[in-house]
Structure 1
Amino acid sequence: MNPTSPDSAESDMPQQMRLRTLIDEIGALTLHVQQLSRMAEEARRLYEQGVLPPPEDPRRLVDDVDAFRRKLEYAIAGIFEEIFGPRTDTIERQMSMRLIAEIGPAAFVQKVLWGEEISDIALTIALERMIPALERLVEQYPAAFLEQANSVLDQFKNK
């Protein structure tokens, strides 16, 4: 009989937490995709009914979104340089830039400032010195970072 050491149960905990976090994130992404699908269907219906005109040039909209994303990325990179100096080889900067590439600059800032997951809290602690500068960035571009809050407020206004 091979007894299980108490250490093995403790070593399984971080793996279980990571798995739970991944499952939660996949669930959240699924909800976002469903919401985007409903929004696209509603927009298509409004275009077909003539309530809203279709966008003039969808490629230009994509280019505008890409340009805005780059602008936010440069702003965040500037904050990194201001707070941590010009070094790009720090673990905080490398991990943050990789995360920004994966989820985008707006979601990155939201994670740092308002994230609730354990990984978000760890990120916030690691980047604590950046928080005032990120808050100023949110004040400068509130529509980019407070989109969810704005949609909730709009629901209350429409009632």
Structure 2
Amino acid sequence: MNPHPAGPAESDMPQQMPLRSLLAEISALTLHVQQLSRMAGEASALIENSQMPAPLDPEPLRRDARRQQDDGRAALEEAIMGIFEDVFGPRTDTLERQMSMSLIAEIGPAAFVQKVLWGEEISDIALTIALERMLPALEQLVEAHPQAFLQQANAVLGRFKGS
């Protein structure tokens, strides 16, 4: 038995620590905002005095990036269509081709190739078996466009290099 029962003041103590840490966080954030505001003012003054060029408008940059992405996707789709024609001939009514085209439309050409070459699910393995004759050509496609197929790996490697 506890000879001194906990009173209201003692039961409030654990709640005061998070409040103190919260106040410390708010104080630190306020300092960061003040520093950012000062830096923005300095940058604005440099731009107005023509000592520094104005920042680029991000919207045209985003449009260019989207256009490049769309162009890359179209080029990959065209390359995959060429592989289908080389391997299976010009027929578009084959089961392999119809299934593949709907999958490419759904997940994109890069993800399709990744599924065929490196997929681990049962459906991926079945797709790989169905398209077995295409594997060498798809591997060559990956070698020709590694940035399109290995983006995730490149991102992970970049984080390791940065560490």
TM-score, normalization by structure 2: 0.63
Matched, 1:125 2:120: no
Q: Identity over aligned residues, as a percent?
A: 68
Q: 1:126 to 1:65 in 2, by over 3 A?
A: same
Q: Which runs of 4+ in 1 moved over 3 A?
A: 52-57
| Runs (5+) with no aligned partner, structure 1 | 1-48
Matched, 1:145 2:149: yes
SS of 2:60's partner is coil
- Counterpart CA distance in 1 for 2:115 and 2:90 is 23
Which residue identity lines up with residue 86 of structure 1 in the other structure?
P
Aligned pairs for 1:47-66 within 5 A: 54=58, 56-66=60-70
Count of residues in Structure 1 that have an aligned counterpart in Structure 2: 110
Aligned pairs for 1:61-76 within 5 A: 61-76=65-80
Q: For the aligned residues, what is the CA RMSD?
A: 1.9
SS of 2:113's partner is helix
| Runs (5+) with no aligned partner, structure 2 | 1-39, 44-54
Query: What is the aligned counterpart of 1:134 among 133, 138, 141?
Result: 138
- Counterpart CA distance in 2 for 1:76 and 1:134 is 8
Which residue identity lines up with residue 117 of structure 2 in the other structure?
L
SS of 1:57's partner is helix
Per the TM alignment, residue 55 of structure 1 is displaced from its structure 2 partner at its CA by 5.7
TM-score, normalization by structure 1: 0.64
Aligned pairs for 1:1-159 within 5 A: 54=58, 56-159=60-163
- Counterpart CA distance in 2 for 1:55 and 1:129 is 43
- Counterpart CA distance in 2 for 1:94 and 1:108 is 13
Which residue identity lines up with residue 65 of structure 2 in the other structure?
L
